[in-house]
Amino acid sequence: MGKKFLVCSFAAVFCFITMLFTVDAKAAYPEKTIEFVVHSPAGGGSDLFSRAVASILEKEGIVKQKIQVVNRDGGSGTTALNYMHDKAGDAHVVMQFTTGPLSALLRGSSKLKLEDLTFISMMCMDPNLAFTRVESPYNDMKSLIEYAKKNPDKISVAIGTVGGSEHISAHRVGRASGAQLNLVGFGGGGAASVAILGGHVDVGFGNVNEQMGQIEAKKIKPLGVMSPQRISAMPNVLTMQEQGINAVYVQPRGFWAPKNFPDYALQFWEDAFAKLVKTKAFQDVLKTSYAVENFMKHTEAKAFVTDYLKVLKVDVDELGVYKKK
């Protein structure tokens, strides 16, 4: 309690003082502390990405003002989207988007619509992979799917959140191959990993970043990657398409701002993120998290996400998740 309050009051005092000295708003943008909104609670993957980006932007002097990461978690992205809705026209609020908020947009659980957002940029893609424990008889997706086709419902798949990235990946693999898989929701990536390490479940889908430690320790072996190309961290692992399964899934990560975000602010942030991508510190973040750089400016990013959501909607409708029962 104390810490948060203290930070807030400091921020408030700081804002006030800077406001007194600011004459020309546009020339001096950003004129006060920037809010970086994250949809996940402190400590999640998205939260850590935002905090890393914020600290690099400050340290490299790309953004001269303080950046404060604000966690508006709740409702699987809904709370953050509602917050963005209420911040329309605010030039000092920027939010990171990834699977969570995108699915929330898709199910329309918030007051906010896609048109209400001002896209700034796409940053990178998180690759996903299929994996199992080393003791498993399967060494690639091809043999596993062949078995699954002959034995419907016999292969169990651990997925984290229902409707989340692992669920979509597993669903796409099942749909493309025609194999009937037994999908079991574990509520989170950690619990799913435990079930696979313990041999309780046959195969899992997940983020490359989360599994890398296990893969290097030879506790887990990758069966195939979900991205369209092989990933540099594991050049010998085939893509799904190379294994005859026409399924692709990537997790986009980027930034957007509220409705009526001023043009000068959009310009500022687009430039800031373009500069960020070129820094060594950011490239290191990508490297340690095994993410693939995929920078796009705002028009391109908007078109990409719009398309992405169209494809995702088919999966979500087929899975029938988020429907009211």
Partner 1 sequence: MDALHSLMQGFSTVITPFNMGMAVLGCFFGTLVGILPGLGPSATIAMLLPLTFGMNATSAMIMLCAIYYGAMYGGSTTSILVNVPGESASVVTTFDGYQMARQGRGGVALGISAIGSFIAGILGTFALIFVCVPLSAFTLKFGPAEYFSLIVMGMLCIVFVGGKSISKSLMSGVIGMALGTVGIDVVQGAPRFVYDISQLMDGVSFIVVVMGLFGIGEVLVSAEERMKIKTINVKLKELWPTLGDIWQVKWSVLRGTAIGFFIGALPGAGATIASFLAYGIEKGVSKHPERFGKGAIEGVAGPESANNAASSGAFVPLLALGIPGSGATAVMLGALMLYGLKPGPMLFHTNPDFVWAVIASMFIGNIILIFMNLPMIPFFAMGLRIPYRYLYPAILLICIIGAYSLSSNVYDVWVMLIFGVFGYFMKKYDIPGGPMVVALVLGPMLEYNLYRALALSRGDMTTFFTRPISGTLLAIAAIMIVVVTFKAVRMKRALIEEKEE
Whole-number Å distance between alpha carbons of 325 and 323: 6
Block residue for tokens 């975000």: 261
Beta-strand relationship, 220-225 and 67-71: unpaired
Whole-number Å distance between alpha carbons of 111 and 39: 15
Q: Which of residues 54-83 bind partner 1 (CB under 8 A)?
A: 54-55, 69, 71-76, 78-79, 82
- Does 186 participate in binding partner 1 (rule CB under 8 A)? yes
Please say which residue, 25 or 42, places its beta carbon nearer to partner 1.
42
The only residue of 15, 28, 134, 162 in contact with partner 1, by rule CB under 8 A: 162
- Does 275 participate in binding partner 1 (rule CB under 8 A)? no
- Does 48 participate in binding partner 1 (rule CB under 8 A)? yes
Is the Cβ–Cβ distance between 258 and 93 less than 8 Å?
yes
Q: Using CB under 8 A as the criterion, what x/- string covers residues 285-314 for binding partner 1?
A: x--xx-------------------------
- Does 42 participate in binding partner 1 (rule CB under 8 A)? yes
Where b means 16+ CB within 10 Å and e means fewer, 116-150 reads bbbbbbbbbbbbbbbbbbeebebebbbebbeebee
DSSP 3-state of 41: coil
Residue 211 C-beta: closest distance to partner 1, Å: 9
Q: How far is CA 259 from the centre of its chain?
A: 21
Whole-number Å distance between alpha carbons of 204 and 201: 8
Q: Using CB under 8 A as the criterion, what x/- string covers residues 3-32 for binding partner 1?
A: xxx-x-------------------------
Q: Using CB under 8 A as the criterion, what x/- string covers residues 101-130 for binding partner 1?
A: --------xx--------------------
Q: Which of residues 197-236 bind partner 1 (CB under 8 A)?
A: 197-201, 209, 212-214, 216-217, 219
The only residue of 34, 37, 52, 168 in contact with partner 1, by rule CB under 8 A: 52
Whole-number Å distance between alpha carbons of 217 and 147: 27
Whole-number Å distance between alpha carbons of 256 and 104: 15
Residue 192 C-beta: closest distance to partner 1, Å: 10
User: Hey, how many other C-beta atoms are within 10 angstroms of the C-beta on 314?
Assistant: 11
Residue 123 C-beta: closest distance to partner 1, Å: 16
What tokens appear for 119 in the block? 């896209």
User: Hey, how many other C-beta atoms are within 10 angstroms of the C-beta on 81?
Assistant: 25
Q: Which residues bind partner 1 (CB under 8 A)?
A: 1-5, 7, 41-45, 47-48, 51-52, 54-55, 69, 71-76, 78-79, 82, 109-110, 153, 156, 161-163, 182, 184-187, 190-191, 193-195, 197-201, 209, 212-214, 216-217, 219, 284-285, 288-289, 319-325
